[in-house]
Amino acid sequence: MQSALYKRAVIIAVIVGTILNLINQYDALFGSKEFNVIKALLTYCVPFIVSIVSSQITLKSVAKNMVATECPEDTAGLVCRDTLSGAREKVQSMRNNAGNVNQASKKRLAFAEAVVDQAHEVTTGSCELAKLAEVSQEQIHSVHDNFNLMNKRQTEFMTEFSQASDWAANLKQSIDNLSHQFSQIENMASSITSLSDKTNLLALNASIEAARAGEFGRGFAVVAEEVKGLANKSGEDAQQINALMGELSSTSTRLADDARLFAESMSKMQENTSQEEAEQVAVAIDQIRSAASDVHGRAQWQIAEMEKVAGKVQQLAEDAKAAVEGSANNMELSEGLIQDLQHVVKAS
């Protein structure tokens, strides 16, 4: 029995301590701050000691009840069994709440993984957009360098403009697709926020049930509080994602307008280009080249922003996974406690 208690305490300390260290020393693990070894060890020791103490108290309480049940069947024995039965019902209620928290956390994890996949798709689209902008710059530079040979290469000149016009149409289509993907990510972020609120409520209910269970629910209450903290952090991350999506949507709108103006300019030049308007065309080419450079810069910024979003969503997925593991551990603890109580009731 003692070895089982120590084994369970070690498991709880590893899971809860790891979660707390990830939260308390995040900047040290993933940033530039120095990692505090003593603080990390204390973080592992606290849940271990809490688990051992609560288990010892529970065993002493159960032992007293078992001694009482060795007496003849009387009113005190009946009261003892009623008390144990009531405790078993409370622990069963705790286990059910843990199951609900676990299911909600799994749903949140699935949504987070879907958002990660969507963010990767958007990043891929942004890379294609940047490549299109680079191709456009190369084409316009080629037209500018060969402008003095316009009389001899009029046909080739018009072909270059036609290709640039097609590129502008493709660019606008890519931006429209990107805007649609932003909308999907915003919807997913809203769903994650809703799930975080529900998970937070379930964690609160679990804490209440743990408080009602007294000593039997102390270890569960610690992990339930951590699940609540993870739910709050997930909600904050989802709000940051929404803000980033708003900025990216505005950028996509500006890019779409630039692409539309670019296509209109190319169409007008295809219709009006002549040898007498050579100087005007040269000026227009310089303007288009500047616009293409601006599009390329915005595309690069968009890629960087999407990488930030992907990082936020990845952290959200890791938090959700930790919540699932914590809830599963709670369910195992509750199941073991229920079995112990059943043995005590049978022995009485």
User: Mean pLDDT across the stretch 294-322?
Assistant: 68
Q: Which residue has the higher pLDDT, 184 or 15?
A: 15
136 or 233: which leads in pLDDT:
233
- Per mean pLDDT, which range of 73-77, 115-119, 137-141, 294-298 is the poorest? 73-77
Which candidate, 82, 70, 48, 75, places its Cα nearest to that of 341? Answer: 82
Tens-digit pLDDT profile for residues 11-46: 877 887 788 777 777 777 777 777 777 877 878 787
210, two tokens: 């743990």
The pLDDT assigned to 240 comes to: 78
| pLDDT for 59 beyond 70 | no
Residues near 226 by Cβ (< 8 Å), separated by ≥ 6?
A: 16, 19, 20, 23, 326
Residue 72 is predicted with a pLDDT of 43
Domain boundaries of the chain, sorted by first residue: 71-347
pLDDT in tens, 143-156: 666 666 666 666 66
Task: Judge contact between 234 and 191, C-beta under 8 A.
Answer: no
- Helix (H) / strand (E) element for 6: namely helix 2-24
Nearest-angstrom CA–CA distance, 69 and 65: 6
Is it the case that residue 60 has pLDDT exceeding 80?
A: no
Collect all residues with Cβ–Cβ distance below 8 Å to 11 and sequence separation of at least 6.
329
User: What is the predicted pLDDT for the residue at 197?
Assistant: 75
- In the predicted model, what is the mean pLDDT of residues 165-171? 73
For 73, phi then psi, to 5°, come to -65, 110
The yes-or-no verdict on residue 136 having pLDDT over 70 is no
Query: Token pair of 5, please?
Result: 């208690």
pLDDT at 257: 75
What gap in Å lies between CA 298 and CA 290, rounded to an integer?
12
Helix H, strand E, coil C: the string for the chain is: CHHHHHHHHHHHHHHHHHHHHHHHCHHHHHCCCCCCHHHHHHHHHHHHHHHHHHHHHHHHHHHHHHHHHCCCCCHHHHHHHHHHHHHHHHHHHHHHHHHHHHHHHHHHHHHHHHHHHHHHHHHHHHHHHHHHHHHHHHHHHHHHHCHHHCCCCHHHHHHHHHHHHHHHHHHHHHHHHHHHHHHHHHHHHHHHHHHHHHHHHHHHHHHHHHHHHHHHHHHHHHHHHHHHHHHHHHHHHHHHHHHHHHHHHHHHHHHHHHHHHHHHHHHHHHHHCCHHHHHHHHHHHHHHHHHHHHHHHHHHHHHHHHHHHHHHHHHHHHHHHHHHHHHHHHHHHHHHHHHHHHHHHHHC
The whole-number average pLDDT for the span 119-137 is 65
Q: What is the CATH code for 71-347?
A: 1.10.287
The span from the first CA to the last CA of the chain, in angstroms, equals 19
Average pLDDT, the chain: 67
Among 234, 231, 221, 235, which Cα is nearest to 201's?
Answer: 231
Q: How far apart are CA 126 and CA 130, in angstroms?
A: 6
- Report whether pLDDT(213) > 50: yes
Predicted confidence (pLDDT) at residue 205 exceeds the cutoff of 50: yes
Asked whether residue 70 carries a pLDDT value surpassing 50, the answer given is no
Pick from 207, 261, 247: which is nearest to 98 by CA?
207
Q: What mean pLDDT is predicted for residues 171-191?
A: 74
Q: How confident is the model at residue 47, as a pLDDT? A: 73
